[in-house]
Amino acid sequence: MKINKEKYMPWLLVLSALILVFGLTLYPLFHAIYFSARNTDIKTGQDDFIGLKNYQRLLNFDPDLADSVSRTLMFAVGCLSIQMPLGLGIALLLNREIKGRRAFRAIITLPLVAAPIAIGQIWRYMYHYEFGVIKYMVTLLFGTSPNWTADPDWALVSLIIFDTWQWTPFVALILLAGLQGLPPEPYESATIYGASALQKFRYITLPKMRPLITLAAIFRIIDLLKTYDPVAAITWGGPGRATELLSYFLYRVGFYYFWVGYASAISLLFLYGVIFFTVVALKKIARL
Amino acid sequence: MSLLASVRYACKLFFSLKSPPDMPNSKGTVNLILLLHLILKREKNGENMSKRGITKTALALVAVVIIVVAVVAAYFVITPPTPPAPPTPPKKVTWATIAGFYTDWAEAISKDFTAKTGIEVEVMGIDYGVMYEKQMLELAGKTGAFDLVTVETMCLAEWAHAGWLEPLDSYIEKTPTEEIQYEDILEHYRWVLTWGGKCYGLPYYTYDQGVFYRADLFEREDIKAMFKEWSGGLELKKPNHEMTWDEALKIAEFFDEVVPDDIMPYGIGLMAGPVESNDEWMAIMWSLGGDHFDKDYNIIVNATESVRAMEIYCELLKHAPPGALASSYDEVVAQMQRGLIPMTGPFYLDQWPNHVKTENLIPGAKMACDTPIGGRGYIGCFALSIDAASKSKDAAWEFLKWLAGPEGQYSFAKGGGSTCRKSVLLHSDFDPAVNPATYPYTEHYKALVATSELLMKNAPAWQRPYRVFKLPKAGTMYMESKITIGAIAAGMLTPKGGLDKLALAYATILGWGYPVPSLSPPKGWTPPPD
């Protein structure tokens, strides 16, 4: 009897990976769904089925959750509005034949390879109100400096600056790959017809780069919505709740209060939100 | 024929007890040999196996079996099987403690203990910021990963109520008095580490609050004269339990706004960051007569005294260095060492060895510490408890009683630690008046003893000293208060509004009232035992 290798072999080869994926992703997901319908408190041993009450609670305007969500959206918009144009600018620069391009390209990837928690600890000291280097340089330039991590108005900005420093190179690298794939012919034609650099950028580069820019933005938005490390390393969610982003709020609910059910409900709703956004955005890219 | 097909064919033959087509009347052993042969040496090109091939395989198989049997027999003849050893008690305990906090001492003392008893101690350092969660997860999961856990005052009730900690009374009773000297432990720790009438932990490190200040500045005649003139005739008093918080606020304002910046730029050091701000506010609240709950367990954290305490705290913040809202205790120590502050708020007395370094860093500086302003401060200690799921409870107790006992605590004090035992705190070896060499490490010991006596003397019987620590939800409430107090301190909430919010949060945590939280306990609610 001949065994149909072509039918079974691919499954056999991906079996170990499937087990890993199921074990690390789907199983916790099912567990989270299970707990989201329960009132589980690890500390007291309480574990009652309560149906949709956890969802009811978070949709009935839990003010702390609402604050965290709005803060997270502000953080994401703030980061994106700086990282996308800056990343594009860096990519355009690296796309030119300039001296030291290769070295510069290697240097800008350094923030990406560092662990956010470790780097965050260093940035915490860089933001120090007395001997921090950032405060020193800003004072040199502007004569005064905000109290970065101790001022509720500036603490979120300090996180935005950190995230921009770390992830703009990521945007730049994605866009650089796109720029390097652009055909030269339209530019040559434009040059012949007397188009300026700005016109070339506006009418040729930007339209052709739109799918890649959108893709880079999607990657960043998904990452920004689940930002946790900088908060844990630099501000601990403070002052007060000024930098308590959604992930940190979830951590507090899940690991300070150990309200497992409520934390599971929040994380699931968050997951649905991200999936919905990703699907819509990818459909948009497909149409471009 | 492929390997898989060969195996399937051989299995089919074997289990059907049929002979292969070219070998009639051969079953059983031959089928087994055939199976082996097919697995080891597959047919190629569709040729049938030869009888010679099967015979060769059979002979090889028999030879292997004979060799194996001979070797095993020889082993048992030369080395007769020894009876299994009786089970010996485990000789290793795992101790979860704070990373980077007297870690060298912890490692050294563990080695001493091992040399003495043969019980190995594995010291697991955990960062303080995540120690609560990490230990909770292991305790809740009943993994027994840590035989000994480090418990803080506000989470003992929580863990004891959940049944995660082993009661120590039977161990204490079995232990000779001179080895444990339970009554020697400061009284308020014996009280706070007992729950439901049972002892669940023994303290090994204290961080009770007192106050630190620059004695040289408070003794300077020009500064005293300046204060007298500015305040309309008041004397500049040194901070201690006799000082009120209104007086402390006045002094902070004086140093910040009147004393020239080259002498003292700010008025007070505060740990107003996300980690310890609630410890400072609680000390002020208690010294004003406020509390989280009243005698009948009604939530009063938003009452007049608590709001006034928060207002004082916000006023004090105006005279603290600019980074106070991001500062932890080490920041305040650094401010003192850099000559930025003349005094601290309610501050952990165990930090004396760090504060005293100011005397080496600032010419003419003289440090002092005393009982907390207002007479009440946060009581904090790190205690050792045995995990109820530990598989090495007896060995864990041996280490616990040794570490927290007189010998271990004496050794700890020699290493510069802040012990919780009265006999060690008042020992002449650690009295700087008798033994000046200990001054950098033990000057605060007398303040620790005095603070403990003040607490037990001045606290109403029903507070003894802070009843909130007896609530199983104390840990969660403590975490919640960190955030709210930090938000009020940062100006994001008003004192009254923020504390109203905190009161409702307490009610939610306790599960009192649904959907509207109630600040009074529901009917039938049982108060926690002492």
Q: Which residue has the higher pLDDT, B268 or B50?
A: B268
Q: How is residue B363 annotated by DSSP?
A: T
Q: In Å, what is the CA distance from B221 to each residue of B20, B365, B469? A: 115, 15, 44
Which residues of chain A are at the B interface, by a Cβ-Cβ cutoff of 8 Å?
A: 1-3, 42-45, 128-130, 147, 149-152, 235-242, 244, 252, 255-258
Comparing B35-44, B125-134, B295-304, the range with the smallest average pLDDT is B35-44
* Contact yes or no for B325 and A147 at CB 8 A: yes
Give the model's pLDDT for residue A260.
Answer: 87
* pLDDT above 90 for B239: yes
Chain A to chain B, count of Cβ pairs less than 8 Å apart? Answer: 103
CB neighbour class for A64 (10 Å; exposed up to 12, middle 13-18, buried from 19): middle
Token readout for A259 is 């309200």
* pLDDT above 70 for A189: yes
Residue in this structure with the two tokens 């403070």, named with its chain if needed: A238
% chain A with pLDDT above 70: 98
| Predicted TM-score (pTM) above 0.90 | no
* Contact yes or no for A2 and B274 at CB 8 A: no
Mean pLDDT (whole number) for B210-227: 97
Give the model's pLDDT for residue B107.
Answer: 82
* Chain A contact for B324 (CB, 8 A cutoff): yes
Give the model's pLDDT for residue B24.
Answer: 46
* pLDDT above 60 for A14: yes
Comparing C-alpha atoms, which of B20, B138, B68 is closest to residue B390?
Answer: B138
Do A1 and A93 fall into the same domain? no
Domain CATH code at residue A96 = 1.10.3720.10
Chain B residues whose CB is inside 8 A of the A261 CB are none
Most confident of the ranges A139-143, A186-190, B253-257: B253-257
Token readout for B86 is 């009786």
* Chain A contact for B25 (CB, 8 A cutoff): no
Report yes or no on A195 lying in a domain: yes
Q: What does the alpha-carbon distance between residue A222 and residue A225 come to, in Å, rounded to a whole number?
A: 5
- Name the fold adopted by B209-378+461-510: D-Maltodextrin-Binding Protein; domain 2 (3.40.190)
* Contact yes or no for B476 and A257 at CB 8 A: yes
Comparing A99-113, B70-84, B379-393, B460-474, the range with the smallest average pLDDT is B70-84
Q: Helices B474-489 and B304-317: crossing angle, nearest 10°? A: 50
* pLDDT above 70 for B219: yes
Single-letter residue type at B407: E
Q: What is the pLDDT of residues B51-77, one digit of tens each?
A: 666 677 677 777 777 777 777 777 666
Q: What is the pLDDT of residues A60-92, one digit of tens each?
A: 768 889 899 999 999 999 999 999 999 999 999
Q: How many domains does chain A have?
A: 2
Do A24 and A72 fall into the same domain? no
Token readout for A130 is 């007395």
Cross-chain CB nearest to A255 (options B8, B133, B326): B133
Residue B479 pLDDT grade (very low, low, confident, very high; cuts 50, 70, 90): confident
Range of the domain at A22: 1-34
Chain A residues whose CB is inside 8 A of the B490 CB are 152, 238-240, 242
Tell me if residue B381 falls in helix, strand or coil: strand
Cross-chain CB nearest to A240 (options B5, B136, B486): B486
Positive or negative, the CA dihedral B186, B190, B192, B193 is positive
* pLDDT above 50 for B45: no
* Contact yes or no for A238 and B493 at CB 8 A: no
Mean pLDDT (whole number) for B320-342: 94
Mean pLDDT (whole number) for B473-481: 89
Question: Is residue B471 a contact partner of residue B477, using CB atoms and an 8 Å limit?
Answer: yes
Do A2 and A88 fall into the same domain? no
Do A10 and A110 fall into the same domain? no
Report yes or no on A80 lying in a domain: yes
Most confident of the ranges A41-50, A108-117, A275-284, B197-206: B197-206
* Contact yes or no for B323 and A150 at CB 8 A: yes
Closest chain B residue to A132 measured between Cα atoms? B323
Give the model's pLDDT for residue B4.
Answer: 57
| Interface mutation target, options A130, A135, A243, A253, chain B, most CBs of B under 10 Å | A130
Report yes or no on A83 lying in a domain: yes
Comparing B106-120, B321-335, B439-453, the range with the smallest average pLDDT is B106-120
> What DSSP assignment string belongs to chain A?
----HHHHHHHHHHHHHHHHHIIIIIHHHHHHHHHHTEEEETTTTEEEE-TTHHHHHHHTT-HHHHHHHHHHHHHHHHHHHHHHHHHHHHHHHHTS--TTHHHHHHHHTHHHHS-HHHHHHHHHHHT-TTT-HHHHHHHHHHS----TTTSHHHHHHHHHHHHHHHHHHHHHHHHHHHHHTS-SHHHHHHHHTT--HHHHIIIIIHHHHHHHHHHHHHHHHHHHHT--HHIIIIITT-STTTT--HHHHHHHHHHTS-BHHHHHHHHHHHHHHHHHHHHHHHHHHHH-
Report yes or no on A148 lying in a domain: no
Instruction: Kindly report whether the peptide bond that precedes residue A239 is cis, defined as omega within 30 degrees of 0.
Output: yes
Report yes or no on A143 lying in a domain: no
Bridge partners (DSSP) listed for residue B125:
B97
* pLDDT above 80 for B19: no
Mean pLDDT (whole number) for B178-192: 91
Mean pLDDT (whole number) for A2-30: 82
Give the model's pLDDT for residue B17.
Answer: 45
Rounded to a whole number of angstroms, the distance from the CA of B392 to the nearest CA of chain A is 23
Chain A residues whose CB is inside 8 A of the B274 CB are 235-240
Single-letter residue type at A264: S
* Chain A contact for B314 (CB, 8 A cutoff): no
Rounded to a whole number of angstroms, the distance from the CA of B45 to the nearest CA of chain A is 15
Token readout for A177 is 């790959």
The H or E element containing residue B57 is helix B51-78
Residue B104 pLDDT grade (very low, low, confident, very high; cuts 50, 70, 90): confident
Cross-chain CB nearest to A1 (options B5, B327, B493): B5
Chain B residues whose CB is inside 8 A of the A242 CB are 487, 490, 492
Mean pLDDT (whole number) for B361-382: 94
Do A8 and A105 fall into the same domain? no
* pLDDT above 70 for B217: yes
Tell me if residue B440 falls in helix, strand or coil: helix
Report yes or no on A282 lying in a domain: yes
Closest chain A residue to B338 measured between Cα atoms? A130
Do A30 and A66 fall into the same domain? no
Residue B34 pLDDT grade (very low, low, confident, very high; cuts 50, 70, 90): low
Mean pLDDT (whole number) for B303-317: 97
User: Which CATH number does B92-207+380-417 carry?
Assistant: 3.40.190.10
What is the ipTM for the molecules in this complex?
Answer: 0.79
Comparing C-alpha atoms, which of B269, B279, B205 is closest to residue B479?
Answer: B279
Give the model's pLDDT for residue B50.
Answer: 59
Q: What is the pLDDT of residues A218-268, one digit of tens each?
A: 999 999 999 999 999 999 888 888 999 999 999 988 888 888 889 999 999
Mean pLDDT (whole number) for A164-171: 95
Do A25 and A67 fall into the same domain? no
Do A190 and A236 fall into the same domain? yes
Report yes or no on A84 lying in a domain: yes
Cross-chain CB nearest to B479 (options A129, A240, A256): A256
Report yes or no on A85 lying in a domain: yes
* Chain A contact for B257 (CB, 8 A cutoff): no
CB atoms within 10 A of CB B523: 5
Give the model's pLDDT for residue A270.
Answer: 87
Rounded to a whole number of angstroms, the distance from the CA of A59 to the nearest CA of chain B is 14
- What is the residue-averaged pLDDT of chain B? 87
Do A106 and A194 fall into the same domain? yes
Cross-chain CB nearest to B274 (options A1, A147, A236): A236
All CATH 3.40.190.10 domain ranges in chain B, comma separated: 92-207+380-417, 209-378+461-510
Do A268 and A216 fall into the same domain? yes
Token readout for B379 is 């009581």
